[in-house]
Amino acid sequence: MTQQGRFIEQDIQVNRLIEIVLLAVMFATFATHISLHVYQVVANVPPAQRVPWTTLAPIFSAFAMAHALFMLGWRRALAFFALTAIIAFGFEYIGQSTGAIFGRYEYTDVLGWKLFTVPVAVLLVYFMVIYPCYVIANLIISANPISQLHTMRWILWAAVLTAFVMTAWDLTLDPLMADQVKAWVWLDGGQYFNVPFQNFFGWLLTTFAIGSAYRFAETRLPLAPLGRMKKWIVILPVAGFAALSVGDLFIGYPADTRVIPLFVMGVPVLAALLHFYEPPDRPETTPG
């Protein structure tokens, strides 16, 4: 799947039935994810009447898991999900209990069933977004959706990049979810549309911990894709992440935040796609 570090399509041997099932799950969940975002944008659905995250999170998480199984194999995919859920739960639980990570906040009952004080939907949201961010970071670094650099330095740099790409989404998500959806309450308010600056550093720390933990783990796990990877399949998570930014661009709240995703989420998406589709062998240029 690589040529001098770059992605190339290969017709590897896979179980065709498993491949078909995973493709069916990906198509169904991806189409539903995009359709729901398009509907809410076109219909300009008010925040309180939009499709709840208790529905959205399982749908896009199922897509992320199917795609991870397709590209990484079951060992890496399950490790990614397990590490994400465990680490995210730890940071969220400690964060709520102490206020030391994100600031002082409390979840309401909007996001449904909770594991102690942390909604299960929140753990799914972490995975459904950090997986596309992992792919985007890899494409930016090496034009390959699967991590190619396994030294400690590059693992940590890649985890930092993943954390920044994911935290960019929260710049528009958090004001909406706290103010309009009422999914959580900031007890002390904050400087950024009533959200504390500390929250974004908490997101960076949490997602860096998840990204670095998985990247270290994957160096010890075999890469065994369950499907034959094609370029159009590779970019599906990137397109899903882009859909989140487009939705926020049109119906983000407050309206002052709507310009933000175009840049903070659009730039890494464009960088990933440009590097991924860049010709592998560029002709040398001579002066003059």
Q: What is the pLDDT of residues 146-158, one digit of tens each?
A: 998 889 999 999 9
Average pLDDT over residues 244-268: 91
Q: How many CB atoms lie within 10 A of CB 260?
A: 19
What's the pLDDT at 94? 98
Per-residue pLDDT tens for 115-127?
Answer: 999 999 999 999 9
pLDDT at 285 over 50: no
Q: Would residue 52 count as lying in a domain?
A: yes
Per-residue pLDDT tens for 166-185?
Answer: 999 999 999 999 999 999 99
Average pLDDT over residues 75-97: 98
Q: Would residue 282 count as lying in a domain?
A: no
Per-residue pLDDT tens for 202-218?
Answer: 999 999 999 999 999 99
What's the pLDDT at 286? 44
pLDDT at 134 over 60: yes
Q: Would residue 287 count as lying in a domain?
A: no
Q: Would residue 242 count as lying in a domain?
A: yes
Structural domains in the chain (count): 1
Q: Would residue 218 count as lying in a domain?
A: yes
pLDDT at 165 over 90: yes
pLDDT at 1 over 80: no
What's the pLDDT at 284? 47
Confidence band of 269 (pLDDT split at 50, 70, 90)? very high
Residue-level length of the chain: 288
Q: Would residue 288 count as lying in a domain?
A: no
End-to-end CA distance of the chain: 38
What's the pLDDT at 4? 46
pLDDT at 49 over 80: yes
Q: Would residue 285 count as lying in a domain?
A: no
Q: Would residue 93 count as lying in a domain?
A: yes
Q: Which residues span the domain enclosing 31?
A: 2-276
114-115 and 105-107: which strand pairing? unpaired
Nearest to 95 by CA among 188, 212, 199, 194: 199
Please, are residues 193 and 254 in contact by the beta-carbon 8 Å criterion? yes
The amino acid present at 137, given as its one-letter code, is A
